[in-house]
A and B are shown apart, each in its own frame.
Chain A
Amino acid sequence: DTGVSQDPRHKITKRGQNVTFRCDPISEHNRLYWYRQTLGQGPEFLTYFQNEAQLEKSRLLSDRFSAERPKGSFSTLEIQRTEQGDSAMYLCASSLPPFRENEKLFFGSGTQLSVL
């Protein structure tokens, strides 16, 4: 399978717990994005990597959120001290650099987080 893979598909946690999600992008894609989506809304940008460098992080993102992409391959998104407002679908996407012939954004199936 050469698509974007996310794990787990679903996560239920209690408020105050830490959670970590993993994303494996398409192998030749050097750009990786994390988005958050709630029901009836479009994806909201969280952070962006080019290779292993985190180039941008949403100004709206709490310090409880952190992401890494060691060696420019897979990425992890950690949420510390989860709150009920963190409940959402967390989407990972990857793409080739801009101005390439096929720079479409490819999404994984997402991780649905429920904070009780």
Chain B
Amino acid sequence: KQEVTQIPAALSVPEGENLVLNCSFTDSAIYNLQWFRQDPGKGLTSLLLIQSSQREQTSGRLNASLDKSSGRSTLYIAASQPGDSATYLCAVEVWDTGNQFYFGTGTSLTVIP
């Protein structure tokens, strides 16, 4: 069974700092990987989706990379802002007996003004 791990579980940085969040998965047979943002008590918002054939995706200050062979992905956030404070989760889409998404437990990010 696919297992997704995110390190660190929590991160606190001063405003303006660049940071990297890590995601690892145990089975490299994935369709794609997505990074999500979740604010307290809310649903998840998809930030970036990387297809299994791609190496990275960028959106604004966010850059996500994927190394499928090693089972790793990183989310790079440039010039962090207090509004970036949230929990960031990664998820891989696989084919089991149907399409399923397996989620990590997330990294809780706090950006200090």
Residues on A lying within 8 angstroms of B by beta carbon are 4, 6, 31, 33, 40-45, 48, 50, 55-56, 89, 91, 93, 98-99, 103-110, 112
Contact = CB atoms under 8 A, between A and B. Distances in A.
A106 B49 CA distance: 12
A106 B46 contact: yes
B88 to A, nearest CB: 11
A6 B31 CA distance: 27
Contacts, number: 65
B105 to A, nearest CB: 5
Contacts of B97: 55-56
Interface residues of B, number: 26
B89 A109 contact: no
Contacts of A45: 100-102
A12 to B, nearest CB: 15
A9 to B, nearest CB: 9
Interface stretch (B11-19, B37-45, B62-70, B74-82): B37-45
B48 to A, nearest CB: 9
